[in-house]
């Protein structure tokens, strides 16, 4: 039998790669993991974690405004970007260090280099030039921000990666895109007092989410001061003499801003990985094509996480990696079930969603019931804050099963995590209703929605 240097070689130490490496190493496998950046990947280094900390930071402006009605008098609050930025980066470094410690404790060898695939069982390190062989190779290289390279002046724009490190907080920013990243960064920047504009090519932001939730978030963002230009894209970006940028749009608008940011999607990191050397098949977006066990068409090569462009979320990458490790190293064949994965947008208001949207449920199931509750949380009423919460339950009329939960409002991401258990468990509306409320909470609305607002194929009331 051929002896390989390693049982598993993982390329990329993000959420997926680290989880697979740790589990495999703990099971006794000889594991190496290569990373040419800091350990932690997009989520820890330049995504979920620093983003959420910035969101927290941006929420204080509203808290300060609300505070007066609760009796608090504050001197005019001042914000220092450098303090927040540096504290966030310190936390990122701490977490990256923990990831490293955990990998080492599990017994995985960390190779600080960029690895390329040479053939189905061989990888080469770019800096050191060393090669090593492995029985299995796992591609967990994630993705990167799409930059519209054919746009004149694109090099003047930044991505979310750069946004975490800005030397100065801009006075104004225009963000291209209407997805997760655009909404979250618009929330952050505007909350921190930056004059923020979103330029979105279609009419309603957050494609893929429930239509009413999209409309609600769009109008709430606008109400809190974010400008949203729809039906337009950039045609050119120029640099002005004072260093500011001038963005030209297809609708003939011109926006003069301090910063331009692109949030128009992310592409899988497969370029320059040498996958073609092993004959690994990619899809038209450059993502590794895998089966339900995350195995590519080459039997010794697997891929997990954003590089496969399935559901591009950290917890999904972790579950795919775990399923891979269980299957290959722990004698427990597992395919991660991608159904009913909840997700959240940390916007203003935040969104939490799981399962089918109203439109999708109507198309897929035909007969549905829609329950809706819209209200001002009691905290906001006292504060004089106009922000309202919207909650929707989508129910399959035939089985009474709750097939979708959509929430836009404070703590929506926390609420939907719990609601996702009930959706995944296929609980019925009757079972939701049999659950006694917790009072006074916003979440109690989820078990108190008595009458549907729409049945079957009716349009919502
Ligand atoms: P999204 O896919 O969410 O959104 C991309 C946006 O850019 C859409 O509004 C899209 O418009 C628009 N767009 C796409 N191409 C162009 C173009 N050529 N010109 C102008 N606009 C364009 O991507 P993001 O970059 O926001 O995020 C990437 C992924 O990262 C997400 O899909 C998500 O999976 C993950 N993520 C998750 C987060 C979370 O869980 N909270 C946070 C951040 C990222 P249209 O709608 O018309 O297609």
Atom of ligand 1 nearest to the CA of 207: 46
Same domain, 225 and 120: no
Atom of ligand 1 nearest to the CA of 344: 41
Judge whether 240 and 249 are in contact, CB under 8 Å: no
Same domain, 446 and 358: yes
Our mutation pick for probing the ligand 1 site, out of 51, 178, 179, counting the most ligand atoms within 8 A of Cβ, is: 179
The neighbour count for residue 461, using CB atoms within 10 Å, is 10
Atom of ligand 1 nearest to the CA of 413: 41
Same domain, 17 and 128: yes
Judge whether 419 and 388 are in contact, CB under 8 Å: no
Q: Is 439 tagged catalytic?
A: yes
| Position 1 in a domain | no
Distances (CA, A) of 400 to 185, 261, 436, 454: 38, 44, 18, 14
| Angstrom distance (rounded) from CA 456 to CA 368 | 5
| Position 240 in a domain | yes
CA 277 / ligand 1 centre spacing (Å) = 31
**CATH number for the domain that contains residue 236:** 3.50.50.60
Same domain, 10 and 136: yes
Nearest Cα residue to atom 38 of ligand 1: 180
Same domain, 134 and 187: no
Nearest Cα residue to atom 47 of ligand 1: 202
CA atoms 82, 88, 90, 93: torsion sign: negative
| Angstrom distance (rounded) from CA 287 to CA 235 | 28
Atom of ligand 1 nearest to the CA of 343: 40
Catalytically annotated residue among 165, 338, 406, 439: 439
Same domain, 170 and 141: no
pLDDT score at 461:
45
Nearest Cα residue to atom 13 of ligand 1: 264
Nearest Cα residue to atom 22 of ligand 1: 264
| Angstrom distance (rounded) from CA 442 to CA 422 | 17
| Angstrom distance (rounded) from CA 35 to CA 12 | 5
Tokens linked to 94: 């701490």
Main-chain phi, psi angles of 419, to 5 degrees: -60, -30
pLDDT digit string (tens) for the chain, length 461 residues: 569 999 999 999 999 999 999 999 999 999 999 999 999 999 999 999 999 999 999 999 999 999 999 999 988 999 999 999 999 999 999 999 999 999 999 999 999 999 999 999 999 999 999 999 999 999 999 999 999 999 999 999 999 999 999 999 999 999 999 999 999 999 999 999 999 999 999 999 999 999 999 999 999 999 999 999 999 999 999 999 999 999 999 999 999 999 999 999 999 999 999 999 999 999 999 999 999 999 999 999 999 999 999 999 999 999 999 999 999 999 999 999 999 999 999 999 999 999 999 999 999 999 999 999 999 999 999 999 999 999 999 999 999 999 999 999 999 999 999 999 999 999 999 999 999 999 999 999 999 998 999 766 555 44
| Position 244 in a domain | yes
Judge whether 160 and 49 are in contact, CB under 8 Å: no
- Domain tally for the chain? 3
Main-chain phi, psi angles of 203, to 5 degrees: -95, -35
Our mutation pick for probing the ligand 1 site, out of 50, 177, 262, counting the most ligand atoms within 8 A of Cβ, is: 177
CA 182 / ligand 1 centre spacing (Å) = 7
Same domain, 36 and 113: yes
Domain boundary among 264, 285, 317: 264
CA 263 / ligand 1 centre spacing (Å) = 6
The neighbour count for residue 180, using CB atoms within 10 Å, is 24
Judge whether 192 and 58 are in contact, CB under 8 Å: yes
Domain boundary among 211, 246, 264: 264
Task: Work out the angle at residue 366's Cα, subtended by the Cα atoms of residues 363 and 367, and round it to the nearest 5 degrees.
Answer: 140
CA 179 / ligand 1 centre spacing (Å) = 4
Atom of ligand 1 nearest to the CA of 202: 47
The neighbour count for residue 172, using CB atoms within 10 Å, is 17
**pTM summary value:** 0.97
Tokens linked to 77: 């609050």
**CATH number for the domain that contains residue 399:** 3.30.390.30
Rg (CA), the chain: 24
Domain boundary among 264, 297, 319: 264
Place of tokens 């330029």: 199
Place of tokens 């330049």: 46
Q: Strands of 102-233 (E only): list them.
A: 109-111, 115-119, 122-125, 131-139, 143-145, 172-176, 195-200, 227-230
| Position 341 in a domain | no
What residues have CB less than 8 Å from 174, skipping those under 6 apart? 196, 197, 198, 199, 247, 255, 257, 259, 260, 261
Same domain, 282 and 195: no
Place of tokens 């099971």: 27
| Position 359 in a domain | yes
- Taking each helix axis from N to C end, the angle separating 358-365 and 211-223, rounded to the nearest 10 degrees, works out to 170
Main-chain phi, psi angles of 344, to 5 degrees: -140, 145
| Angstrom distance (rounded) from CA 17 to CA 33 | 8
| Angstrom distance (rounded) from CA 409 to CA 374 | 10
Q: Which domain holds residue 449?
A: 349-455
Same domain, 122 and 179: no
CA 74 / ligand 1 centre spacing (Å) = 38
Per-residue exposure over 76-85, b if at least 16 CB sit within 10 Å of its own CB, e if not = eeeeebeebb
Q: Which protein residues are within 6 Å of ligand 1, measured from CB?
A: 148, 176-182, 184, 200-202, 207, 233, 263-266, 312-313, 343-346
Same domain, 214 and 246: yes
| Angstrom distance (rounded) from CA 326 to CA 371 | 40
Distance of CA 247 to the CA centre of its chain: 27
| Angstrom distance (rounded) from CA 75 to CA 84 | 20
Our mutation pick for probing the ligand 1 site, out of 151, 214, 265, counting the most ligand atoms within 8 A of Cβ, is: 265
Atom of ligand 1 nearest to the CA of 346: 41
| Position 340 in a domain | no
Our mutation pick for probing the ligand 1 site, out of 151, 163, 180, counting the most ligand atoms within 8 A of Cβ, is: 180
| Position 283 in a domain | yes
| Position 344 in a domain | no
The neighbour count for residue 225, using CB atoms within 10 Å, is 14
Same domain, 94 and 200: no
Nearest Cα residue to atom 9 of ligand 1: 178
Nearest Cα residue to atom 34 of ligand 1: 312
Question: How, if at all, do strands 301-303 and 131-139 pair?
Answer: parallel
Residues paired with residue 249 on neighbouring β-strands, in sequence order: 234
pLDDT score at 454:
76
Same domain, 193 and 205: yes
């Amino acid at each position: 039998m051929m002896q390989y240097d390693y049982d598993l070689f993982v390329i990329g130490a993000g959420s997926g790669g680290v989880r697979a490496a740790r589990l495999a190493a703990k099971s006794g496998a000889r594991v190496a993991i290569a990373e040419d950046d800091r350990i932690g990947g997009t989520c820890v280094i330049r995504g979920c974690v620093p983003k959420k900390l910035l969101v927290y930071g941006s929420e204080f402006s509203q808290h300060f405004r609300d505070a007066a009605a609760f009796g608090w008098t504050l001197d005019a609050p001042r914000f220092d970007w450098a303090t927040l930025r540096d504290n966030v980066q310190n936390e990122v470094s701490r977490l990256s260090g923990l990831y490293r410690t955990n990998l080492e404790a599990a017994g995985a060898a960390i190779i600080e280099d960029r690895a390329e695939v040479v053939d189905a069982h061989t990888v080469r390190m770019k800096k050191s030039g060393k090669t090593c062989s492995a029985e299995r190779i796992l591609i967990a290289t994630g993705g990167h921000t799409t930059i519209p390279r054919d746009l004149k002046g694109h090099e003047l724009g930044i991505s979310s990666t750069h946004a975490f490190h800005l030397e100065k907080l801009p006075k104004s920013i225009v963000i291209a895109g209407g997805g997760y990243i655009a909404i979250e960064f618009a929330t952050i920047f505007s909350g921190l007092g930056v004059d923020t504009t979103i330029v979105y090519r279609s009419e309603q932001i957050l494609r893929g989410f429930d239509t009413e939730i999209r409309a609600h978030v769009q109008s709430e963002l606008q109400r809190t001061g974010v400008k949203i230009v729809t039906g337009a894209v950039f045609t050119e970006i120029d640099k002005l003499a004072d260093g500011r940028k001038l963005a030209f749009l297809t609708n003939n608008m011109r926006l003069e801003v301090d910063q331009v940011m692109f949030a128009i999607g992310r592409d899988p990191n497969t370029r320059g990985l040498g996958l073609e050397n092993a004959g690994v098949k990619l899809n038209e977006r450059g993502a590794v094509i895998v089966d339900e066990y995350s195995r590519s068409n080459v039997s010794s090569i697997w891929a997990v996480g954003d590089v496969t462009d399935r559901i591009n979320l950290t917890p999904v990458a972790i579950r795919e990696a775990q399923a891979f490790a269980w299957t290959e190293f722990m004698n427990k064949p597992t395919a991660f079930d991608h159904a009913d994965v909840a997700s959240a947008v940390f916007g203003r208001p935040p969104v939490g969603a799981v399962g089918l949207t109203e439109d999708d449920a109507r198309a897929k199931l035909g007969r549905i019931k829609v329950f809706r509750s819209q209200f001002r949380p009691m905290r906001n009423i006292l504060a004089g804050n106009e922000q309202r919460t919207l909650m929707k339950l989508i129910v399959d009329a035939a089985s009474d099963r709750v097939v979708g939960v959509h929430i836009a409002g404070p703590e929506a991401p926390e609420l939907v995590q719990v609601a996702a258990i009930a959706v995944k468990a296929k609980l019925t509306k009757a079972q939701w209703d049999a659950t006694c409320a917790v009072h006074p909470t916003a979440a109690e609305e989820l078990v108190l929605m008595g009458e549907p607002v729409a049945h079957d194929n009716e349009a919502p009331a």
